[in-house]
Amino acid sequence: MKKVKKFLLGRATIVALAILVQLCWLLSFLYGFQERYTFLNTIIDIAAIFVVLLIVNKRSNLSYKIAWTVVILAVPIVGLLVYFIFGRSELTRLTRKRMEAVNLEIEEGLPENQDLQDELMEKDLSVYRQSKYVRAWAGYPVYKNTETKYYPCGEEMFPDMLRALEEAEHFIFMEYFIVEEGFMFGKILDILKRKVKEGVDVRFVYDDFGCVTTLPKKYDQQMQAWGIQCVRFNPLYPVMSVIMNNRDHRKILVVDGKVGFTGGINLADEYVNKVKRFGYWKDTGVRLEGEGVWSFTVMFLEMWDYLTKSQEEDLDQFRPSRYQTRQYQTDGYVQPYTDSPLDHETVGENIYMNIINRAKKYVYIFTPYLIPDDELLKTLQNSAKSGVDIRIFMPGIPDKQIIYWISQSYYEPLLECGVRIYQYNPGFLHAKCFVSDDEVAVVGSVNLDYRSLYLHFECGVWMYQSRAVMQLKEDVLRTMEESEEINLEFCWKRPAAIRTLQGMMRLFAPLL
């Protein structure tokens, strides 16, 4: 009963109901107006065609265009209204200028190390090409002198996160999609409060949509009362308005510019298995220590300056070289990167496809959702057809049933081409990782679905010959022992009605 009451009175329910009431009222008004003034039908039809033409000519994914085209032409009034509220991601001219100014400042703080580029070219031209793409289109350079550590689950990474926070002397930067009051965040919050009193610069960013059911309204103000500088990304209001259809899905923790963490692990108890929601929650992360952390420092400051409308900060004050004395061992090559939905470049997806296309022996993939666009689907199929060992690991217990059904609809076309698919029996697999040929790996926040690939702010680390690469491969092999391999018979056994429904849902997958 308490859970029902909490749900009914929760901020997510109130916001959703408020927007639904406004949407219904507006639709009722428009349909009534349409009946009284029949000429409005023609105007709406013309407007629908005009908007569809604009969508078709955008530099966006083909499936995304088709889905919106079907909705808008099938039910013009509803389609147009929903598209203008939820389907656009354009910035105002003023906002774009502000973002461009921040980006210019950040670019100056990320000089390219040409010696490392030349070194990579001599080692492996194919790997050099992958790194060159990240530098050219994401804007982040490659590093050495950085130690890496891969974590196969949240409960292994959490103690190292706490240890790093305890050792902070200068600044702590944290940016997360989901934050929930409980054991995990409580431990972190205790340290943050203490560090603020010690004079440490503590800054915190959380996505308001991601935390709508997990944090009280305007929790940022409570954080500020404790002395923690805090800002919400894209604050959620119970008012129907034209808003950016984007979310900050990144997971970043930086301490003193020396230690950085990222991956799929948010700050909630299921990520360290203190609560059980969908069986055992398997997630992964990676720690960088050394020069490569600078990119995560800059990444956070770019978002911070944009959200707070801060004046340009002197990046040099955050450089660890001012107070760092330790020399880090060379642990392969690392290249942190971020992906923005506002630059029309799908960095996260292209990094994945570069790994698949250039693989010689194998590519192993962890992903909680499997909703690839046509380009990624064809890339997986063609690589498997050519003899590359492609293995995809999915959850055995889903967190979102509809998304799970849509994901399973892609099993058959992949299996037919030789891709091997496994479902993780103990529970929900939330990890987002690629590893290939014992040399290249990516650990980050990017799912294989439309929202991650096209609409979210994301981040990750591309690695070559780092310790974490083989640590990830070893985890994949252990996970394989706990997973069930899916075959074509599994797909054929699904009732015809379910398969038909899944096919229909795939059409609208880009809008979910």
Task: Tell me the catalytic residues.
Answer: 249, 251, 256, 430, 432, 437
Tell how far CA 461 is from the center of its chain: 12
Tell which residue, 240, 221, 250, 195, has the closest CA to residue 444: 250
Q: Are 250 and 307 in contact (CB under 8 A)?
A: no
Q: What angle do CA 370, 135, 294 make, to 5 degrees?
A: 95
Q: What are phi and psi of 423, to 5 degrees?
A: -115, 130
- Using CA atoms of 69, 75, 77, 79 in order, give the dihedral in degrees to the nearest 10: -40
Query: What order of strands is seen across the sheet that includes strand 171-176?
Result: 146-151, 285-290, 259-263, 252-255, 171-176, 201-207, 229-233
Q: How far apart are CA 446 and CA 451, in angstroms?
A: 9
Tokens of 332: 């392969």
313-337 residues labelled b (16+ CB within 10 A) or e (exposed): eebeebebeeeeeeebeebbbbbbb
Contacts of 474 (CB under 8 A, 6+ apart): none
- The amino acid at residue 81 is L
